[in-house]
């Protein structure tokens, strides 16, 4: 874990596009209506198997391990980042999900929502 980051990525709900990541202090939106247009996704401070930054909303694929493998979405809840699958039982702290053979980012919930079901 690299420590808390203030880098964010924005999903434009109207334009249906992902805006490139940037430090939070460089994001230029002031009006409250802008906050309704965009979904903010914070960087987790963790990297996938290939060294790619993991953001909230990223879909991850486990690369190995014992037992059943499942795709998960990175999300922030209860002051920690979690890997959450499509079943209620598929929840584990993100750093534990990445342990072992690791995982890689294969998309995000906004552009590749079907990936969370393991497709």
26-64 pLDDT, tens digit per residue, is 666 545 566 788 888 888 888 999 999 999 999 998 876
CA-closest candidate to residue 108, choices 49, 61, 50: 61
Dist. CA 27–CA 10, nearest whole Å: 9
Domains of the chain: which residue ranges? 7-117
114: left (phi over 0), alpha (psi -120 to 50) or beta: alpha
Dist. CA 58–CA 48, nearest whole Å: 11
- CATH homologous superfamily, domain 7-117: YopX-like domains (2.30.30.290)
The per-residue pLDDT for 107 is: 92
- What is this structure's pTM? 0.78
Dist. CA 20–CA 104, nearest whole Å: 19
For the chain, the average pLDDT equals 79
The per-residue pLDDT for 1 is: 42
Is residue 11 within 8 A of residue 49, CB to CB? The reply is: no
Dist. CA 109–CA 11, nearest whole Å: 10
């Amino acid at each position: 874990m690299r420590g808390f980051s203030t880098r964010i990525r924005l999903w434009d709900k109207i334009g249906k596009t992902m805006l490139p990541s940037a430090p939070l202090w460089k994001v230029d939106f002031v009006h409250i209506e802008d906050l309704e247009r965009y979904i903010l996704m914070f960087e987790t401070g963790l990297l996938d198997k290939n060294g790619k930054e993991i953001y909230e909303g990223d879909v991850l694929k486990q690369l190995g391990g014992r037992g059943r493998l499942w795709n998960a979405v990175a999300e922030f809840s209860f002051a920690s980042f979690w890997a959450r699958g499509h079943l209620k039982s598929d929840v584990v702290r993100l750093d534990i999900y990445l342990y072992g053979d690791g995982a890689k980012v294969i998309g995000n919930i906004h552009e590749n929502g079907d990936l969370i079901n393991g497709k």
